[in-house]
Structure 1
Amino acid sequence: MGIYGAINSAVSGLAAQATALENISGNVANSQTTGFKRLDTTFSDLVSGGGAVQASQVSGTTFATSRATNTVQGDITSVDVDTYMAINGEGYFVVTKASDVVDGSTTFADETYYTRGGDFERDKEGYLINASGYYLQGFELDPDTGNAIGDDPTVIQIENQPLAASATTTVDYQANLPRVPQTNDYDGSDEDTALLAAAVGAGNVAVANEDAFLDSSISGGSITIYNQNGTAMNVEVRYAKTLNYDAGVPQDDTWTMYISSGGDAATAYYDVGDITFDTTGAMLGMTAGAIGTVNGTSDGFDIATLTVGSTTASNVEFSFANGSLTQYSDPDGTASSVSLDQDGYPAGELTGVAVDDAGRVIASYSNNQQRAVYQIPLATFEAEQNLQRVDGAAFAATASSGDPDLSGGGQILSNKLELSNADIADEFSKLIITQQAYSANSKIVTSADQMLDDALNMIR
Structure 2
Amino acid sequence: MGIFDALNTSVGGLQAQSFALQNISGNIANASTTGYKGIGTSFEDLIPDATTPSRQVAGGVTAFAQATITTQGTVSATTVATNMAINGDGFFSVQKASAVVDNVPVFTGVTDYTRRGDFQVNANGNLINGAGYYLMGVTVDPKTGNPTGNVPQVLQFQNNFIPAQSTTAIQYAANLPTTPKTPASSGAQAGTITAGGGINPADFASNPLPLGTPAPPVNAFFTGTIINNDNTTPAAITAATQLVGTASATSNDLATAITPPASLTVNGKTITFSTAQTTSTTDSSGNVTIGIGPTSTLTVQSVLSAIDGITGATTASTVNSGKLVLSTGTNQDLVISGTGNALAALGLSAGTTVRATGTNPGTGIVTGNDLTAFTNESISGGAVTAFNAAGTPINVQLRWAKTDSASLGTGHQDSWNLFYQTSTSATGAQTAWVNTGTNFVFNANGSLASPAGSAVSVPAVSVDGQVLGNLTFNIGAGTLTQFASTAGAATINNLTQNGFAAGQLQSVAINNSGIVV
Shorter-chain TM-score range: 0.5 to 0.7
CA separation of 1:225/1:339 partners in 2, compared to 1, >3 Å: closer, same or farther? same
Distance 2:108 2:190 in 1: 83
- Does the 8 Å CA contact 2:125/2:159 hold for their aligned counterparts? yes
Give the Cα–Cα distance (whole angstroms) in 2 for the partners of residues 206 and 336 of structure 1. 25
1:351 aligns with 2:499: no
Matches within 5 A, 1:312-327: 312-318=469-475, 321=478, 324-326=481-483
Q: Tell me, in whole angstroms, the C-alpha distance in 1 between the residues paired with 2:366 and 2:39.
A: 86
Residue 58 of structure 1 aligns with which residue?
57
The one-letter amino acid of 2:71's match is V
The DSSP-based 3-state class of the residue aligned with 1:101 is strand
Give the whole-Å Cα distance in 2 for the aligned partners of 1:268 and 1:64: 85
Name the one with the larger helix percent: 1
How far apart, CA to CA, are the structure 1 residues paired with 2:182 and 2:458? 29
CA distance in 1, matches of 2:473, 2:388: 11
- State the partner residue of 2:468: 311
Identity %: 28
In structure 1, C-alpha distance between the alignment counterparts of 2:479 and 2:141, rounded to whole Å: 31
Show CA shifts across 1:114-166 (max 9, x none): 21111111112211111222221223457799644463x33211121467857
Do the aligned partners of residues 7 and 250 (structure 1) sit closer, same or farther apart at CA in structure 2, a change above 3 Å counting?
A: same
Q: In structure 1, what is the equivalent of residue 383 of structure 2?
A: 223
Give the AA of the match of 1:18: S
Match of 1:271 among 437, 448, 455: 437
Q: Distance in 1 between matches of 2:181 and 2:111?
A: 72
- Tell me which of the two structures has the higher relative contact order, counting C-alpha pairs closer than 8 angstroms and 6 or more residues apart: 1
Shift of the 19–252 alpha-carbon distance from structure 1 to 2, 3 Å rule, reads same
> Contact 1:97–1:133 at 8 Å: present in 2 too?
yes
CA contact (8 A) 1:16 1:43 kept: yes
Q: TM-score, normalised by structure 1?
A: 0.61
Question: How many Å separate the matches in 2 of 1:225 and 1:295?
Answer: 25
Say if 2:174 and 2:490, in contact at 8 Å, map to a contact too: no
CA shift, 1:170, in A, is: 1.8
Residue from 267, 273, 283 that aligns with 2:446: 283
Larger Rg: 2
1:262 alignment partner in structure 2: 422
The 2-side partners of 1:211 and 1:80 are apart by 52
Structure 2: 5+ residue runs without aligned partners? 212-361
Aligned counterparts of 2:380 and 2:33: Cα–Cα separation in 1: 60
CA pair 273-77 structure 1, distance change in 2 beyond 3 A = same
Q: Output the amino acid matched with 2:89.
A: E
Partner of 2:302: none
Change (3 A) 1:251 1:351: same
Offset, 1:41? 1.9
C-alpha contact (below 8 Å) 2:48/2:57 kept by paired residues: yes
Report the alpha carbon displacement of residue 252 of structure 1 after superposing the two structures with TM: 5.0
Could you tell me how far 1:274 is from its partner in structure 2? 4.2
Gaps of 5+ in 1: 288-292, 297-301, 363-460
In structure 2, the residue matched to 1:361 is: 516
Please give the secondary structure, in 1, of the residue aligned with 2:158: coil
Q: Which has the higher strand share?
A: 1
Verify the 8 A CA contact 2:182 2:379 in the aligned structure 1: no
Matched position secondary structure for 1:10 = helix
Tell me by how many angstroms 1:24 deviates: 1.4
Task: Provide, for residues 241-267 of structure 1, a one-character-per-residue CA deviation record: whole Å limited to 9, x for no partner.
Answer: 4446668x5565644313237369999
* Aligned position for 1:83: 82
Across the aligned residues of Structure 1 and Structure 2, the Cα RMSD in angstroms comes to 4.0
Whole-Å Cα distance in 2 between the matches of residues 328 and 59 of structure 1? 91
Match of 1:421 in 2: none
- Letter of the 2:13 partner, please give it: G
What's the offset of the Cα at 1:47?
2.9
1:136 equivalent in structure 2:
135
